[in-house]
Amino acid sequence: MKKALFATLAASIAGVTSASAWADDAPAPAPDKSGYTLLNPTPEDKLRSLCADRPTKSNGPCTVDAGHWQLESDVYNITQQTTGDVTQTVQLFTNPTLKLGVTNTLDLEMNIAPYEEVSTRDSATGVTSTASGAGDLFLRAKWNLLGDDGGAIAVALFPYLKLPTAGRVIGNGAVEEGLIVPIAFNLPSNFQLTIDPEADALADAQGPGRHLNLTTPLSLSYGLTKTITVFAELWGDENFDPAGNVFQASADLAAAWIPAKAPNFQLDGGVNIGLNRATPGVQGYVGITRRF
């Protein structure tokens, strides 16, 4: 177990959020925004910098300001994996996450891909099969414990529940849950380091049991300009299924742009390269974030 945990930790880096929400080297004391709620929204002039759980695979500790909505979505996402003679291609045609700021440090979130397409081709037989439909529904809540409005460190608790709304080929038909603990460190010169450990309770591939899945990303982002942030990551995941442990790892690169004249909008994209045979060989995506 210790060896597996160490391998997962050593193999990860996952991008944080968008353009440096805590990037000041010497930030001013955080304002008192505790009085703002869903029914008493945060004024526009007191909103924190736009911060999203994209691009890349990891999540940041930042939450959406009280009384505001935020939409984050892939516009298009494609993943391809080849094992022997079989190549599987998964395409997402949008993958929206809708967030609602409830208090200054708590938001509620819902995610579902309205249409996925899974295509499997066996080059030995020339046979291709395709399945399509909606994905699973994810319900999440993010509670920031520290650093939502500035500071050297930011920490949050991020539990989720997955409901099996996808068809059998796309999903596994099981209710699953997990906990993510995003931790971000502001570094000098517009760098930010994030650790994003995650523990999941997943359904066994065979039988009615459940098992542990661990993801422990590390990520480094850099504010290239005032509007562009770039990300480099290593990502790793260890699945302790009784049918056989599976370890995945990838090297990920991404960039995000928040226009100077549109501070509530972000355009991003990235590519993830698998580092072992168990990991999809390549994944590419483009996406957007919009705060309301």
Mean predicted confidence (pLDDT) in 109-129: 93
Q: Say whether pLDDT at 267 is over 80.
A: yes
Counting DSSP H helices and E strands in the chain, the numbers are 1, 18
**pLDDT for residue 28:** 60
Q: Which residue segment(s) compose the domain that 221 sits in? A: 2-291
Q: How many domains does the chain have?
A: 1
Q: Say whether pLDDT at 125 is over 90.
A: no
Q: Say whether pLDDT at 5 is over 50.
A: no
Mean predicted confidence (pLDDT) in 69-90: 95
User: Could you tell me the CATH number of the domain that includes residue 138?
Assistant: 2.40.160.40
Residues 18-65 pLDDT 10s: 443 444 444 566 778 989 999 999 999 999 999 999 999 999 999 999
**pLDDT for residue 66:** 98
Mean predicted confidence (pLDDT) in 241-257: 97
CB-CB neighbours of 245 under 10 Å: 12
Measure the CA–CA gap between 4 and 93, rounded to whole angstroms.
34
**pLDDT for residue 163:** 98
Tokens 């049991």 belong to 209
**pLDDT for residue 3:** 43
**pLDDT for residue 187:** 96
3-state SS of 190-253? CEEEEECCEEEEEECCCCCCEEEEEECCEEEEEECCCCEEEEEEEEEEEECCCCCCEEEEEEEE
